[in-house]
Structure 1
């Protein structure tokens, strides 16, 4: 039976991945900071779907947390979902440097290290998948968050190209606004975001699984966000930044 390791697995897109994979009969390794919430999620998934669910409490902004997950990945998984992440309510100049560095560690260093730890066993089996959850923000200019997600997209595409022919696939998942705990945890006011821009986490995951099977390097769920990212790739960067400020957090 295949095994998937999902970070940030107790809420939002990570929890949606866990549900979808469990429904498909995939054994799970769930990673998050909250030990009690991990145990509750694991029990619920095991009871509903009958799959084996392992929990690994870890803070991926700390070296000991990263090392623990790296060690688990080296023992072999078939799918890695790098989903853990967070945002800041304030702009770059109003956020403490320590908090910005925590974001970079989680969105960039953790993605690099965990992907690197997972790949050797996948390559040896000539089969495996890595999904790095980025964001539509990667295609716009919106502070450290969008910069870190742009790095995740570029890293994923670079790894996918390097691994061509090995049987291992790497893909960046770039959702737009998704109804999760993400914005509430960051203290963001999203009341001005139009209803049509919101996506459901389960739909995002369904499209991601489909795109991964198709061998795509970047997945942008929904036609509306495909259009938005297409515009973001080709309009002048200053204009894209202005649009981002208007529709982004207050």
Structure 2
């Protein structure tokens, strides 16, 4: 896909995978709309990529976990006269711990951001892409989408939703000139674990730039979904090889809190 003179909207763009998407697509000639809660980090990213690549970056500081945030983002984009060619739904977060001990408000925010906002933004920006006959929707899922994850039950369920939704969307869009792709990273070296905690990190962490490279390669091939990294791909195959009960037992053991050193 040629990103030259296109506009890419990236949520969760201030750090990690979102910022890596911004840097790579700006290097490929795409203007950007970057969205996150931290305006300071977005402004720093804007200055960096505009100076390095001569593209235009629109900054939208916004908490997408709030009800109505997707509609507000659409309004701001339309008021700027920007047409979105590529939507990257990267914003999301996880919580770690038993459901019975969780904060109901935090859980509701997690479901809203990971599922509702992602779906809302897709349905708001997709019709114009279809009308123009080109574009892409990239939704960031996770290797957690492939099996239940005790102590991250809600996160795993939200990412299973993202994977299923996106693969179905990719089928619907066949022949339209618009592509949909679910990228499924495993543990990645980002501030994600500053929120969820280090106990949620499983396996060797990949770099955000590797996730971006995997995404763009899969997008070129027209794939509906892709898992980042060979070891992660092998892990996601394991639920097909053993019983559901065994898969759940393995997942419980992997996420069991480690004793303090």
Instruction: Please tell me the TM-score bracket, short chain as reference.
Output: over 0.9
Q: CA deviation at 1:238?
A: 2.1
Kindly tell me: are residues 55 and 233 of structure 1, through their superposed partners in 2, closer, same or farther at Cα, counting changes over 3 Å? Answer: farther
Partner of 2:175: 165
Counterpart mapping for 1:85-164 below 5 A:
85-142=92-149, 143-164=153-174
Q: Is the 8 A contact 2:95 2:195 kept in 1?
A: no
TM-score of the superposed pair, with normalisation by structure 1: 0.94
Q: Is the 8 A contact 2:96 2:200 kept in 1?
A: no
Q: Is the 8 A contact 1:89 1:188 kept in 2?
A: no
Q: CA deviation at 1:234?
A: 4.2
Alpha-carbon distance in 2 for matches of 1:235, 1:73: 47
* Cα deviations by residue, 1:134-193 (Å, 9 ceiling, x for unpaired): 1000001110000000000000011111111111111111010001100112233357x4
Query: Are positions 1:178 and 2:188 aligned together?
Result: yes
Partner of 2:225: 218
Query: Are positions 1:80 and 2:84 aligned together?
Result: no
Query: Are positions 1:67 and 2:71 aligned together?
Result: yes
RMSD (Å) for aligned C-alpha atoms: 1.6
Q: CA deviation at 1:107?
A: 0.7
Alpha-carbon distance in 2 for matches of 1:171, 1:236: 28
Partner of 1:24: 28
Please list every run of 5 or more consecutive structure 1 residues that lacks an aligned counterpart in the other structure: none
* Cα deviations by residue, 1:203-248 (Å, 9 ceiling, x for unpaired): 1110111101110001111111111111124432222222222333
Alpha-carbon distance in 1 for matches of 2:240, 2:10: 29
Q: Is the 8 A contact 1:136 1:220 kept in 2?
A: yes
Alpha-carbon distance in 2 for matches of 1:23, 1:225: 28
Alpha-carbon distance in 1 for matches of 2:55, 2:253: 44
Alpha-carbon distance in 1 for matches of 2:249, 2:9: 37
Kindly tell me: are residues 12 and 249 of structure 1, through their superposed partners in 2, closer, same or farther at Cα, counting changes over 3 Å? Answer: farther
Q: Is the 8 A contact 1:11 1:180 kept in 2?
A: yes
Please list every run of 5 or more consecutive structure 2 residues that lacks an aligned counterpart in the other structure: none
**After TM superposition, where is structure 1 displaced by more than 6 Å over at least 4 residues in a row?**
none
Report which stretch shifted further, 169-178 or 34-43. 34-43
Kindly tell me: are residues 20 and 54 of structure 1, through their superposed partners in 2, closer, same or farther at Cα, counting changes over 3 Å? Answer: same
- Would you say how many aligned residue pairs link Structure 1 and Structure 2? 247
Q: Is the 8 A contact 1:7 1:32 kept in 2?
A: yes
